[in-house]
Each structure stands twice: as structure tokens, then as C-alpha cells.
Amino acid sequence: MKFRKHCSDEQLLAALDGELPEAQRSEVVRHLEVCWACRARQAEIESQVHLLTRAAAQSLYPGGGWSTLAKRRFTLAVQALEPVAPARPPSPSVRWRWRWAAAAGVMIVIALGTYSAGWLRSIRDPATVSAGLQQLIDADRSVVAAPVHQVVRVRIEQTRPRIESRARRLEVWSDPKGGRHALHWRDQHVLRQAAWRSEDGGVGVSRAFASAPPDSPDLVASIGGHWNAQQIEEAFLRWLAARVWEPVVLGGDFSVFASDSGTRLVAQQVVPGTVRLTARRQRAQVITEWIVEMDERTHRPRLQRIRWERPDAAMEILFVVESEARLDAATLRPTLFHSPFPSKPPAPPVLAGIRPALPTGPALPARSLELTTAGIQAEYALRRLPRDWVEAIEIEFEDSRIVVRGVTQTAEMREGIEAVLGRLEWVALAVQSVEETPAGPDSATASIAWIEPPEEPGFPLEKELAKRLAVPGDKSETARRVAAFSAQAARLASAILGESWALHRLAERYPDGRLALVRPETRWLLDELRESHLRSLSQARAELQSLVAPVLEPLAPARSRPGTIARPGEEPIPESGLLKIASEMDALIRGLLAGAPLGDVTPRDGVARLFQALERLEPETARVRTAWQAGPDLRN
Amino acid sequence: MEFDEASRLIEGLLEDWGPSLARQAYRLTGCREASDDLVQEAFLALYQELRKGEQIENPRAWTLTVVRHHAAKRLRRIAARGEQLEAGSVLDQVPAREIEPERAFDELADMLRVLSGREQEVLLLRLDSMKYREIAECLGIDDSSVATHLARAIRKLQAEVKARMAGQSMGKVNEVPKTLQ
């Protein structure tokens, strides 16, 4: 490495890195002392290296914590390879057996991996996608005979609204033959929750496991407000199974499907012997993602990840199977299948008083449309009340009604809540104020009464709708038709809004410059995606038009006055275009037909605005389609 | 080699070398899931070799070669499905990016695309604080070539940052990572 006049970049860099042999190093140092040009170049190189090192530490994959997960994954793969390795998984005949009671709660998630062999191979037929997913959902209900002990590591990470992370451990002993099961949920080594069933049929569940998942035709509605892994996942899987899937890419080792509304499902063989299913759905502002990695041979999941995200909240749950072993039923401690907690004294009277048993409401077919509508109404009604009134009030879905439970500080607040929510149909109230709570639990139970649906309208157009949809002589059938009508309209409006958001995001992600750069295959995929969103949007628009036109058109005045429409969303909406129209329409429908705040628009003007929006939507959709085909400006 | 011994060796290697290898895999595939899979495959293959009693002199170089081959195999499979392979960095030709366009590329990884494959490899290994000698052993090249590749990589990146900054001020698409400004 000789130099005549100046140092080479290599020498300067190697000198900085301390990689020059001693003789050359002193030569370079001597030269640098007298040559400002080389000093300047070395400084330049040094600052570039410094920047690179910093950038690499910040942005390069993988970040911290990678090794731990990689090691875990490696160990599991080795266990499958090694016939005599310690902690080897049991033979394929031992399967997951969880769902012995509704109590299995959170853990059901892990069991969903049991699905039939060769699914990846058969998945190429779109018809089997839905069937396969359904199979996946059903599989956890199958009963298997061998007793098994499983340990699962659970990591729950919330990044919004605040960063919070929890690591927990789940341990399950299952002896289906003996009818015994036990499940422990631990924080470090402290037992936090438990569920168990003993051979004599005794069942115990600690509170966190006892909640039943709600059901709803709409994913966002069914997971909104619930932060329970099981509820999110069950709703998501049920939703996935109900979709129509179209193949997008079929490869040797991976298949991609798109559903009718843009959800993608990817089945992929990752390392030999492992299949990964990834389902991702983005709708309006909510993203749900579910990933499961499972053993191709035994069909047992090794790792599962559920991610749920919306602008104000985001959460991820990761399940990693730590160990799984056959159990000898004879050696199981009988005490395992009884409460692991020491018996506690009964709850103090105040606590007993605020959660009294409720009288039963009118019988309804389980989880009907009315309930969905009533749920929306109750949510909106609660939102309209002052925040400190409703801090400790929650809405619970039951089979045939919605229960609004909780505590308020004063009797005045309680009365206020009852005045608003008591008017809603199918809603039972169990609100107590702290100052009124009686001394004993008995009197508290007695003070709760079923509140009859009142005569006043629950939303602006209710009376009008009741007139138009009336079934003579049958009030409850009329009410049912009104609720079904508004629920259907709300569903279609939110579908249109969802598609508009999807189109908007697509346009944002691929601005003109970027789209010109993508490869033809990508362009093709994007075109397909875009077209599918546009199709769904047009279809929903047509359905909405034909639903509302015959009923609402006579209500619209010839000329509407301007007014501001209230919109509950948090994200900024563009000033014009598809998204603006769709969000206005969604707000109008919710305001007119579900009792959400309507802004300073009168109901009749609202109807007129709704029809205007419906009219504007069609040419706007056409404009977006042409703009996309033409190229440059794609923003809608 | 015994089960315990092989497992211990691999776990140690995963800790020290795993992240660097994952970065190399990411450079080749542009997809995090795919890189994790490639690394896992490479370590499993190494494990199987060790269990068979094979002597692996330089496990780092060995696993890096496996990752490179498997990444290339993936690309060939994609090509066999009828997609066109373009000249240039393999970075552009992995399906994962096509399927998941929402996983935006790291800005820095994007900048690194102006470098040749070898330059990227050398630079990434150096950024993982490896000595020139170690890098040379890993890649099967001379110590002096390491210095040459590194210096060239840094020169190219300097030029690219300048070009992009100029482009940015004229409203061009490519952005310069904030960390490099």
C-alpha cells in the first residue's frame, strides 16, 4: 500500500478502522500531519462511517430480541427432527384439546391450528379455502383421548394508546378420558387466573376467563371495544371463513388468495415441515392480522401472532409453544383439578350490590339484527353523555339483550343515564350510584327492574320508517322491520366507506411517480386489487340505493339547506373525492337511522343530502377508475 | 456430534452471528419473514451436518453460503413460474415484496441498492463490527479486497446521498433517510 502523493481512500478508511499494519500506519499518520487534503478526506469518510453506523443501528433489520425468538424457533424445529431429543413433542395422535368449557377463554387461539393434512396442497382450489378455514375453526372442538400437558408462552404488546407489554405463561393439563382439565395463567411464577374441571363435574373459572364472545355479522362491530385475544380471533376467523376467495398467485410453495373485499390470505411452506398461514384484513381504519405457523406433520401450531390495529389503538399477541408432553393420567395429582386459590371471604356488600342478577328481558332469537342496532344506539347514547358520568359504565352483549352495567357517583348521574338509555329497545339497565347503594345485596337486586321500550322515537326517522314499513296490527314485527332496515343501511354505508378507505390508501401508497416504477406483475396485482374494491363499492352503492330509495325518497324536500354533518371519525378526510362522499354518507346514515349525532342538519335535509351523495358517488367511482387507468394522478 | 453439543454450538452462533446473517438474508430477499426462514433453514442444515459428524471449519461462511444458495433457489422458482428475472440486484425479484407492498423497505436498505452485491455484503458485515480478517474469511476473499470494497461502498454512498439530496430539493421521488442527512 504505497502512495506517492496522497493516501488512497482504502488507506484512510483502514487507518480509521485500525486495520493497517504498523509500518503503513505510521506512514499514513506522518502524511496526514502535513497534508490537509487527505485530512479533509479522512474526516469526510469518518463522518460518513459514523452516519452509516448510526443509521444501521436505527433502521436495519433485525432489531433487538431477534436472537431469542430465533433460538426458540430453532429449538422447536430441532425437536421435530430429533427422535430422541429431550422434550420431544408427543406422537401425532395427541392433539390439542382445549375447549372443554367456555372457560378456556384466551387459550382457544392456540388450538385453532388443528387442521387436516395437506391443506396447503388442496388449498389451490378456491372452494377449499373457506372450507379449510371452517375446518380450522371446527377442529378445536374435536375431542381427543390422550392426556396432555402443554406450556405456552404468551406475549401481549400494546403500542397504542400507551406502550405496555406483558409476558405470561399458560399451562394446561388435559385428561379428557377422566373428564378433568386444568388451566393456569401465570405472571412470572405467580398464579393469576385459573379454570378447572374435576372428574365429579365441578367447574371453576376465575373471572377473566368467563366472558363469552359476542357475535356479529360485522367484524369491526364485533371486535370494536373488545380487547380479548379470543374474541378478536374468533370473530376474525369466522369472518374469514365466510368470504369468497379468489386465487391471485398459486406457486409451488405458496398460494395467495384475495377475498371479495380485499382481505388477503397467504398459505406458504416456510422451512420444510412448517406451514404458515397469514390472513390480513384492512377495513376502514382497522387492520387485523393473524399468523399461524404449524407443523405439517402433526398439524400442531408452534407460533401464533394476532395483530389488531386502528388509529387510536394497537395490540399484538404472540403465542409460542414451549413444551408439550403426554401425561400419565394415573399420576396426575387430583388436587390439580380443583381451585388453586385459597378460598376467599365473600365480596363486601357494595361490590355485590353493583353487579346484581338481572331480570330476563323479552325473548329474542339469539344475536339478531336488532341487537346489533341496539348496540350501536347504546354506544352512541353513552358517548353523548358527559364523560365522568359514564366512566364506569360498560355495555355487555347477552343472547337476547344488551346490558348496560356500572356505577355512577351520584343518583343524578344514574337518572341521567337511565333517561337516555332507558328509551332504547332491548337494553337492560343495571346502573347503581355509589351514594344510593343499599347495605345488603338482596335489596340491590330487588331495585333493578326491566325497563319497557318507550313510545318516543330512538332516532330521527324512526316514526317515518315505522309508518312506511308498518305491518298492520303487529307492532313488534314493524319494530323488527325498522331495525333490520336501519342495520342493513348502516352496514352498506360502512362497506362503502371501507372500500373508499382502501382505495384512498392504495392511491396514497402508490403516488404517480411510484406507480410508474413498479414491475408489470405488481401493476397487475394492484389493478386487480383496485378493481375488486371498485366493484364492491359499486355493488354496495347499488344495494343501498335500492334499499333506501323506495322508503326515504318521499321524505326528501325539493331543496335542502346547507349544514354541517357531524362525523365521529378521528382521521382527517380529504376535502373532496370518493372518501369525502362516502364518509358523509356513512355519517348521515348513522345519524338518521341509528341515532348518532347528526350535526346541524335537519333530518329531512339529511335525507336530501343522502340522495345527493348517492348520486355523486357513481360518477366519482367512474372518475377514479379512469384516472387509475390513465396513469398519473391517482389520488381520489 | 452429540445432540447437546451441536445444540449449544448453534445457539451460541445464533446469538453472535444470527442477526448479521439475517441482515444478509434481508438484503437478498427484501422480506423479513423470508429472511427469518432462510436463516432458520441455514442453521437447521448446519445442525444436521454437525450431527452427521461433518467438520465445518468456518460455520459463518458456511451458513452465509447456504443462505445465498437458498435465496437464489427461491428466485429460480419464481422465474420458473413465468415471472421475468431482471438484471441487477436480486433485491427486486422476490415475491414477498410484491405480495406485501405495505411492508415498506427500510430507507437505509433502499440506499444500499446502489452498491454491488459484494459491496453490500462487506459493508453490512463491517457494520456488525467484524474485523477485516473475519470478513475476508467469511466471504473467501483477501483482506486487502475488503478494504477496497469498503472504501468503494462508502464513496458510492456519499455520491448517492449527494445526488438524492439534490434530487430532493428538486422534488424527486427518492428520499434520503433522515439519519444520513
Angle (CA) A16 A19 A24, round 5°: 90
Whether residue A64 is contained in a domain is answered as no
Domain shared by A141 and A277, yes or no:
yes
Chain A with chain B: Cβ pairs closer than 8 A: 155
- Domain boundary among the residues A456, A474, A492 is at A456
The overall average pLDDT reported for chain A is 67
Domain shared by A451 and A479, yes or no:
no
- Domain boundary among the residues A422, A456, A490 is at A456
CA B53/CA B47 separation, integer angstroms: 10
Number of domains into which chain A is organized: 4
Q: Which domain holds residue B116?
A: 106-181
CA A203/CA A219 separation, integer angstroms: 31
Whether residue A215 is contained in a domain is answered as yes
Q: Could you say which of A56, A251, A256 has the minimum Cβ distance to residue B127?
A: A56
Domain shared by B88 and B113, yes or no:
no
Domain shared by B127 and B98, yes or no:
no
pLDDT tens for each residue of A476-516: 778 778 878 887 888 888 888 888 887 887 777 777 666 66
Domain shared by A161 and A286, yes or no:
yes
Which pLDDT does position B153 carry in this prediction? 92
User: Residue type for A106, please?
Assistant: V
CATH code where residue B149 lies: 1.10.10.10
Of A363-372, A460-469, A528-537, A554-563, give the lowest mean pLDDT range. A363-372
Whether residue A359 is contained in a domain is answered as no
* Res. A322: pLDDT tops 70: yes
Which pLDDT does position B148 carry in this prediction? 92
Q: What pTM, to 2 d.p., does this model score?
A: 0.35
Domain shared by A16 and A121, yes or no:
no
Q: For residue A522, what is the nearest residue in chain B, using CA coordinates?
A: B98
Residue at grid coordinates 374474541: A231
Length of chain A: 636
pLDDT tens for each residue of A402-425: 888 877 777 888 888 888 887 777
pLDDT tens for each residue of B79-93: 666 544 333 333 333
CA A123/CA A250 separation, integer angstroms: 10
Task: Tell which B residues from 38 to 67 touch A, by Cβ distance under 8 Å.
Answer: 39-41, 43-44, 47-48
Whether residue A4 is contained in a domain is answered as no
Domain shared by A27 and A146, yes or no:
no
Mean pLDDT for A319-331 is: 75
Mean pLDDT for A293-304 is: 66
Q: Are strands A274-283 and A180-187 parallel, antiparallel or unpaired?
A: unpaired
Residue A325, H or E segment: strand A313-326
Domain shared by A182 and A218, yes or no:
yes
Whether residue A100 is contained in a domain is answered as yes
Of A297-301, A585-589, A593-597, give the lowest mean pLDDT range. A297-301
Domain shared by B71 and B25, yes or no:
yes
| Interchain contact, B15 vs A71, CB within 8 Å | yes
Which pLDDT does position B146 carry in this prediction? 92
| Interchain contact, B10 vs A74, CB within 8 Å | yes
* Res. B177: pLDDT tops 90: no
Which pLDDT does position A445 carry in this prediction? 35
User: Residue type for A611, please?
Assistant: F
Which pLDDT does position B152 carry in this prediction? 92
Mean pLDDT for A317-331 is: 75
ipTM score over 0.85, yes or no:
no
| Percent of chain B clearing pLDDT 70 (strictly above) | 75
* Res. A245: pLDDT tops 60: no
Whether residue A548 is contained in a domain is answered as yes
- Cβ(A397)–Cβ(A364) under 8 Å? no
Task: List phi, psi (to 5°) of B87.
Answer: -70, 160
Annotate A602-634 with b (16+ C-beta within 10 A) or e (fewer).
eebbbbbbbbbbbeebeebbeebbeebeeeeeb
Domain shared by A169 and A273, yes or no:
yes
Q: Residue A240: which pLDDT band, with cuts at 50, 70 and 90? A: low
Which pLDDT does position B157 carry in this prediction? 87
Give SS3 for A408.
Answer: strand
Domain shared by B151 and B94, yes or no:
no
Domain shared by B99 and B134, yes or no:
no
| Interchain contact, A270 vs B180, CB within 8 Å | no
Domain shared by B84 and B99, yes or no:
yes
Q: What's the grid cell of residue B13?
A: 452462533
Which pLDDT does position B63 carry in this prediction? 92
For B73, other C-beta atoms within 10 Å of its C-beta total 11
Mean pLDDT for A576-592 is: 83
Domain shared by B64 and B124, yes or no:
no
| Interchain contact, B106 vs A60, CB within 8 Å | yes
Which pLDDT does position A636 carry in this prediction? 39
- Domain boundary among the residues A425, A456, A487 is at A456
* Res. B149: pLDDT tops 90: yes
Provide the angle, in degrees to the nearest 10, between the axes of the packed helices A603-630 and A520-552.
160
Q: Could you say which of B18, B80, B158 has the minimum Cβ distance to residue A66?
A: B18
CATH code where residue B66 lies: 1.10.1740
Length of chain B: 181
Which pLDDT does position A134 carry in this prediction? 57
Closest CA to A265 of A291, A284, A294, A297: A291
Whether residue A83 is contained in a domain is answered as no
Closest CA to B27 of B101, B131, B110: B110
Cβ of residue B33 closer than 8 Å to a chain A Cβ:
yes
Domain shared by B46 and B119, yes or no:
no
Give SS3 for A50.
Answer: helix
* Res. A309: pLDDT tops 70: yes
pLDDT tens for each residue of A47-56: 888 777 777 7
Number of domains into which chain B is organized: 2
CA B105/CA A440 separation, integer angstroms: 63
* Res. A127: pLDDT tops 60: no
* Res. A591: pLDDT tops 50: yes
CA B59/CA B52 separation, integer angstroms: 15
Domain shared by A440 and A515, yes or no:
no
Domain shared by A148 and A39, yes or no:
no
Contact list in A for residue B80 (CB cut-off 8 A) is 252
Domain shared by B89 and B136, yes or no:
no
Mutation site, A78, A287, A289, interface B, largest B CB count within 10 A: A78
Q: Residue B151: which pLDDT band, with cuts at 50, 70 and 90? A: very high
| Interchain contact, B33 vs A48, CB within 8 Å | no
pLDDT tens for each residue of A443-483: 333 333 333 333 444 567 777 777 888 888 777 778 778 87
Domain shared by B123 and B158, yes or no:
yes
Mean pLDDT for A350-359 is: 39
> Which distant-in-sequence residues (6+ apart) come within 8 Å of B102 by Cβ?
A509
Which pLDDT does position A487 carry in this prediction? 79
Q: Which domain holds residue A30?
A: 9-59
Distance of CA A130 to the CA centre of its chain: 19
pLDDT tens for each residue of A224-237: 344 445 555 555 56
CATH code where residue A402 lies: 3.30.70
- Cβ(A130)–Cβ(A231) under 8 Å? no
- Cβ(A219)–Cβ(A236) under 8 Å? yes
Contact list in A for residue B179 (CB cut-off 8 A) is 51, 54-55, 58-59
Which pLDDT does position A458 carry in this prediction? 57
Mean pLDDT for A151-167 is: 73
- Domain boundary among the residues B78, B103, B128 is at B103
Closest CA to A213 of A193, A239, A235: A235
| Interchain contact, B154 vs A522, CB within 8 Å | no
CA A428/CA A440 separation, integer angstroms: 22
pLDDT tens for each residue of A197-224: 777 766 665 544 433 333 333 333 333 3
Domain shared by B92 and B15, yes or no:
yes
Domain shared by B118 and B41, yes or no:
no
Of A87-96, A198-207, A380-389, give the lowest mean pLDDT range. A87-96
Give SS3 for A225.
Answer: coil
Whether residue A86 is contained in a domain is answered as no
Starting at the earlier edge strand, list the strands of the sheet with A274-283: A203-205, A190-197, A180-187, A164-175, A148-160, A313-326, A301-310, A286-295, A274-283, A264-269, A254-259, A245-250
Q: What's the grid cell of residue A597?
A: 349525532
A165 vs A567 pLDDT, higher one: A165
Contact list in B for residue A510 (CB cut-off 8 A) is 101
Residue A380, H or E segment: helix A369-384
CA B7/CA B13 separation, integer angstroms: 10
